Amino acid sequence: MRDFVNEHVKKIKPSGIRRFFDIANEMDNVISLGVGEPDFDTPWHIRDEARDALSRGRTFYTANAGLMELREEIAGRLNRKYQLDYNPKEEILVTIGGSEAIDIALRATVCPGDEVIYLEPGYVSYLPCIELSGGVPVPIALKEANQFRLTAEELEAAITPKTKIVIMNFPNNPTGAILEQSDIDALARVIMKHDLLLVTDEIYDDLTYTESAHVTLASVLGMKERTVYINGFSKTYAMTGWRLGYCCGPKAIMEQMIKIHQFTIMAAPTLSQYAGIEALKNGDASVEEMRQSYNQRRRYLLKELDRIGLTCFEPLGAFYIFPNIQEFQMSSEDFATQLLLEEHLAVIPGSAFGDSGEGYIRISYAYSIKELKVAINRLEQFVHRLREKALYGEVAH
C-alpha cells in the first residue's frame, strides 16, 4: 500500500510541550506549572451572556468575518487602547483563537521561498506555520543579557533580499519579556526601511506589570498599513476553551485571509462570539482583578527562585517565568524529565520553544499561591540534590 501521508507535514516535529503533559497525566500527585492557561473560571457575566444567547436560539452561522457587533467592539477596544482606527467591515476578522489567525495570516501572504523571521525562544506554533505555508524560517535568538528583547540591530542583521515577513510576540511566551518604547520605534524604522510585513501576536497585551501600558508596533506612524495585528480572548478573559480570537490588518490582506477562513472554518462559534461581545463591553474589572493576582504570584515566584539560587531575569508580561538552569550542565529536557519523575513537578523545557531556549525552563504562574508554594518546595528539593551531586563529583545525568 502507498504511503498516503504528506511528506512535508511528516517533517514537522510535534510540540515538545505535549510529551510532558502526556507523562504527567499518567502520574499521581503531580503539580503542573506547564500549562499556559489561566486558572480562573471565565467570569460569570460572560458565561451568562452565552447562556442567554443559547436560550434565544442564537445557534446558527454568523457572517464569515464574525458578528458585526463583535467586530465593532474589537475596533472600539483598539481605538481606546492604541488610538488605532480599523474598519470593522473590511479590516477585522474573528477567528478560532489567535492560533488560526497566525496560520491564515501566513498562508495568505507567504509565497514559496519567502523568508519569514521569527523569534526564539518563542511560541511553538510559529515555526510549523511558517513551514506549512511554504516559507523559509529565519530565527533570531533572543538573549537573556538583553532581557529577551529584540533589538533593531538583531533584526537588521537577519534581513536578506528574500525577507518578507517578521513575526513578533510581545509580551512574550515563554520568557515574559516586553518591549520598551525605544525598542518599538527602532524596530518600526527597520521594518519600514526594508518594506516588510509585520505579523504581531499580542495575546498577552493586557497582562503587563509596569507603570507604562503596553504599546503595539501597529500604532507607530506608517506601521498600521504593513501590520497584521493578532489577539484573542483566551488569556485576558480566561476563555481558552471558547476558541475566540481576531486579527486586524490592511483590507487587501484581510480579503485573502477571509477566503482561507471561510473555506476551512466558515465562522467562529456563535455562542463564543456573543460571549466575546460581553467580555469587551464589561470585562475590564475582571481582567484587572486577574492581572493583580498574576502579579502577586509573579513577585512570589521571583522571590522564591532567588532564595533557592536560580537565576532569572524579571519578566514584565504574560504569566511565565524563564529561569536559567545552565549551572546544572544538563539539557533542559533532561532537567524537566527528572524533575517530573522524581518530584512530580511538571515544567516545560526551554528547548520546546526552539534551540535558543536550551538552558532554561518555563514556569507558568497561572496557578494559585497554594500550588506555587508546593511547587517551589519540590523544585528546591530537586535543585538541592543536583547541587549535592555536583559537589561530590557525581554526574547529574
In angstroms, the CA 74 to CA 280 distance is 7
Read off the C-alpha cell for 369.
499561591
Write the DSSP symbol of residue 376.
Answer: H
For residue 396, is pLDDT > 50?
Answer: no
Q: What is the mean pLDDT of residues 275-283?
A: 99
- The per-residue pLDDT for range 219-268, each reduced to its tens digit, is 999 999 999 999 999 999 999 999 999 999 999 999 999 999 999 999 99
pLDDT at res. 394: 58
pLDDT in the model for residue 229: 99
CA 343 to CA 31: how far, in whole Å? 9
Mean pLDDT, residues 111-139 taken together? 97
Band the pLDDT of 391: cuts 50, 70, 90: confident
The closest alpha carbon to 106, from 238, 23, 21, 200, belongs to 200
Instruction: Spell 350-364 as b/e; 16+ CB within 10 A means b.
Output: bbbbbebbbbbbbbb
Average pLDDT, integer, range 272-292? 98
Please state the rounded mean pLDDT for residues 105-110: 99
The structural domains of the chain, with segments of one domain joined by +, span: 7-42+285-391, 45-282
Strand partners, 198: 166, 227
Could you please state the CATH topology (level 3) that the domain comprising 45-282 is classified under: Aspartate Aminotransferase; domain 2 (3.40.640)
What pLDDT shows up at residue 23?
79
Place of cell 501590520: 227
What contacts 364, CB < 8 A, 6 or more positions away?
33, 34, 35, 36, 37, 319, 320
Whether the Cβ atoms of residue 207 and residue 171 lie closer than 8 Å to each other: yes
Sheet-wide strand order for 348-349: 320-321, 361-364, 348-349
Give mean pLDDT, residues 2-16. 85
Domain 7-42+285-391 has CATH 2.60.40.1120: no
> pLDDT tens across 13-38, in order?
888 777 777 777 888 899 999 888 99
The pLDDT value recorded for residue 18 is 74
Could you tell me if 277 and 49 are in contact, meaning their C-beta atoms sit under 8 angstroms apart? Answer: yes
pLDDT level of residue 397 (50, 70, 90 thresholds): very low
Above 50 in pLDDT, residue 216? Answer: yes
The pLDDT of residue 341:
94
Residue 307 cell numbers, joined: 532564595
Residue 161: asked if its preceding bond is cis (omega within 30°), the reply is no
Identify the pLDDT of residue 280: 99
Q: At residue 87, does pLDDT exceed 80?
A: yes
Overall pTM surpassing 0.85 (yes/no): yes
pLDDT digits (tens, 9 = 90+) for 173-190: 999 999 999 999 999 999
Alpha-carbon span 342 to 338, nearest angstrom? 6
| Helix, strand counts (H, E) of the chain | 13, 12
Is residue 395 scored above 70 in pLDDT?
no
Tell me the per-residue pLDDT of 188-209, one tens digit each, with 9 for 90 and over. 999 999 999 999 999 999 999 9
- Start-to-end CA span in the chain (Å): 43
74-83 pLDDT, tens digit each? 999 999 999 9
Return the percentage of the chain with pLDDT > 90, whole number.
Answer: 89
Mean predicted confidence (pLDDT) in 124-139? 97
Q: What is the DSSP string of 138-158?
A: EEEE--GGGTTPPPHHHHHHH
Per-residue pLDDT, 22: 79
Q: What value does the mean pLDDT of the chain take?
A: 96
Q: How far apart are CA 257 and CA 368, in angstroms?
A: 39
For residue range 59-71, list pLDDT tens digits in order: 999 999 999 999 9
Asked whether residue 393 carries a pLDDT value surpassing 90, the answer given is no
